């Protein structure tokens, strides 16, 4: 199974466990996750962004303070902006928070229920899923020279035929290199692979 397919499988399970949606920010560096997945209601996502709640979200503050898994109701941090009340008004009344990884590459996730607390078994499983997602999405520290060359040419604007000619390989061989680079970078498109390679300092 490819890493992308494995990520999809675990996200599907996380979604089934999170009736009111979930958020997973994987490998947060310089305050930005390298990979972000969320299924919260669009109205909440837009409100959260407009209010800059990422700067005052108690779950995020907790996630950068400790590693572990807990219910939102057990997070004992000041909430001067009434974040939890706001979240509840959007149907996010009960939840689980998960934090794992080194501070320089921290993963923080949340899963929500609108009508009940998560059971102990659900809390444990959600924690296990997010920790596994963290593990399998560890950014690569290198690409092969062939993968780098293929990505660079496409990034520079060459079409497949022109890029293959410059590398003196067939177009199918070029596509194979791009496919391998996408898989290594857990990208669904070549454009996404190029951006991630740049973000990771590999191009």
Q: What's 39's domain CATH number?
A: 3.30.450.80
Domain boundary among 93, 114, 136: 136
Helix (H) or strand (E) holding 13: helix 3-17
Domain co-membership, 115 together with 151 = no
**In whole angstroms, what is the distance from residue 44 CA to residue 114 CA?**
13
Kindly list the averaged pLDDT for each block of 10 residues, start to end, along the chain of length 203: 87 98 93 91 96 92 96 94 94 97 95 97 98 92 92 94 94 94 89 89 87
pLDDT at 29: 83
From 136, 166, 186, the end of a domain falls on 136
Q: Residues 50, 116: one domain?
A: yes
Whether 165 and 88 map to the same domain: the answer is: no
In terms of domains, do 129 and 94 share one?
yes
- The CATH number given to whatever domain includes residue 194 is 1.10.10.10
pLDDT at 162: 94
Write down the pLDDT at residue 201.
85
Asked if 84 and 111 sit in the same domain, the reply is yes
Angle between helical axes of 171-185 and 160-167 (0-180°, round to 10): 100
What is the helix (H) or strand (E) element at residue 68, kind and residue range?
strand 68-71
Distance CA 164, CA 203 (A): 18
Q: Which helix (H) or strand (E) holds 12?
A: helix 3-17
To 10 degrees, the CA torsion angle through 86, 87, 91, 93? -110
Q: If you write DSSP's letter for every residue of 34-67 in order, what string do you get?
A: EEEEE-S-HHHHHHHHHTTGGGT-HHHHHHHH--
Q: Are residues 101 and 149 both part of a single domain?
A: no
191 and 101 in a common domain: no
In 3D space, the residue among 167, 81, 22 whose CA is nearest the CA of residue 158 turns out to be 167
Residues 126, 176, single domain; the answer is no
Here the tokens at position 6 are: 């494995």
Residue 21: half-sphere exposure toward Cβ, Cα within 13 Å: 16
Q: How many domains does the chain have?
A: 2
Residue at a domain's end among 82, 105, 136: 136
pLDDT in the model for residue 150: 95
CA atoms within a 13 Å half-sphere pointing along the CA-CB vector of 9 = 8
Asked whether residue 163 falls in the same domain as residue 99, the answer is no
- 57 and 109 share one domain: yes
- What range defines the domain where residue 58 resides? 3-136
């Amino acid at each position: 199974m490819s890493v992308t397919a494995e990520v999809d499988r675990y996200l599907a399970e996380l979604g089934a466990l999170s009736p009111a949606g979930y958020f997973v920010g994987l490998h947060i560096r310089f305050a930005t996750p390298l990979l972000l997945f969320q299924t919260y209601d669009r109205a909440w996502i837009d409100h959260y962004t407009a209010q800059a709640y990422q700067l005052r979200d108690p779950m995020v503050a907790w996630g950068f303070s400790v590693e572990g898994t807990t219910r939102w109701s057990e997070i004992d941090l000041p909430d001067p902006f009434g974040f939890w009340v706001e979240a509840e008004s959007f149907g996010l009344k009960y939840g689980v928070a998960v934090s794992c990884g080194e501070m320089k590459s921290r993963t923080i996730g949340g899963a929500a229920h609108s009508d009940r607390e998560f059971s102990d078994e659900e809390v444990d499983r959600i924690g296990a899923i997010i920790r596994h997602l963290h593990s399998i999405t560890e950014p690569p520290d290198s690409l092969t020279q062939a993968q780098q060359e293929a990505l660079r040419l496409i990034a520079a604007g060459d079409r497949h035929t022109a890029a293959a000619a410059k590398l003196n390989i067939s177009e199918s061989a070029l596509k194979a290199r791009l496919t391998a680079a996408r898989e290594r970078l857990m990208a669904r498109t070549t454009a996404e692979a190029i951006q991630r390679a740049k973000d990771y300092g590999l191009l």
